[in-house]
């Protein structure tokens, strides 16, 4: 069992908090009151970034001290939205939010995962008609193994998880967000995920 803080109480953060609590972890969701994120992060072993990606870097950089030596699981996508509110472009082309977080938080072990699917699939991967893939990107192998254990508790089988390598590989996973508006316009707002067929 891990002590986990979730930053972001929307559909993504709330869903993850519920799923991880069900899996037996002690989970705190930081609300938006002043100092709440810092206080919650300070006592956690693992912190999950489920805040809107466009503002994540600034928010988390302010928690540099609290996140020191912690595992930061980044599930957000940093995008520039179009007029319809759907992602139209990447906020960090040629890089990624995860890379920027790791650069800004050198003493934090950043792991990117779960950002290539609709939020509901994160905690119910078996709900799809075909096997989804969860990607892991990060420089710390132990941190990725710990995050893989968290995913297992959410229903992800080991063979459904692909370790892409270092944190620089997160830019490929984050670029997958550009599929999302087209998939939604084509098929509607139904659960989906990127999957690697072998």
Confidence of residue 159 (pLDDT cuts 50, 70, 90): very high
147 occurs within a structural domain: yes
Cβ-contact 121, 193 below 8 angstroms = yes
Residue 195 lies in a domain: no
* Structure confidence by residue, pLDDT tens digits, 77-133: 999 999 988 899 999 999 999 999 999 999 999 999 999 999 999 999 999 999 999
Q: Is residue 197 part of a domain?
A: no
- The range of the structural domain enclosing residue 38 comes to 3-187
End-to-end CA distance of the chain: 33
In the predicted model, what is the mean pLDDT of residues 169-186?
93
Quick check: 34 pLDDT over 80?
A: no
Burial of 53 (0-12, 13-18, 19+ CB in 10 A): buried
Residue 71 above 90 pLDDT? yes
Q: Is residue 196 part of a domain?
A: no
How many domains are contained in the chain? 1
In a domain, 80, yes or no: yes
CATH of the domain at 24: 3.40.50.720
Cα separation, 99 vs 105, in Å, equals: 10
Is 194 domain-assigned? no
Asked if residue 192 belongs to a domain, the reply is no
- pLDDT tens digit string along 147-157? 999 999 999 99
Enter the pTM of the model.
0.96
Closest by alpha carbon to 144, among 163, 119, 127?
Answer: 163
């Amino acid at each position: 069992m891990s002590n986990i803080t979730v930053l972001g109480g929307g559909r993504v953060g709330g869903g993850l908090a519920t799923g991880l609590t069900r899996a037996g972890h002690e989970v705190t969701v930081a609300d938006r009151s002043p100092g709440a994120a810092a206080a919650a992060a300070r006592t956690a072993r693992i912190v999950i970034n489920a805040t809107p990606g466009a503002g994540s870097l600034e928010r988390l950089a302010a928690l540099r001290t609290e996140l020191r030596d912690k595992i930061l699981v980044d599930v957000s996508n940093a995008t520039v939205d179009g007029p319809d509110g759907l992602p139209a472009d990447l906020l960090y082309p040629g890089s990624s939010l995860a890379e920027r977080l790791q650069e800004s938080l050198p003493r934090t072990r950043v792991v990117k995962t779960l950002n290539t699917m609709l939020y509901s699939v994160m905690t119910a991967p078996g709900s799809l008609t075909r096997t989804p893939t969860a990607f892991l990107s990060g420089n710390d192998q132990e941190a990725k193994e710990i995050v893989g254990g968290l995913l297992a508790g959410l229903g992800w089988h080991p063979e459904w998880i692909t370790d892409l390598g270092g944190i620089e590989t997160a830019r490929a996973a984050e670029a997958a967000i550009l599929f999302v508006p087209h998939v939604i316009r084509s098929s509607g707002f139904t659960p989906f995920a990127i999957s690697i067929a072998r």
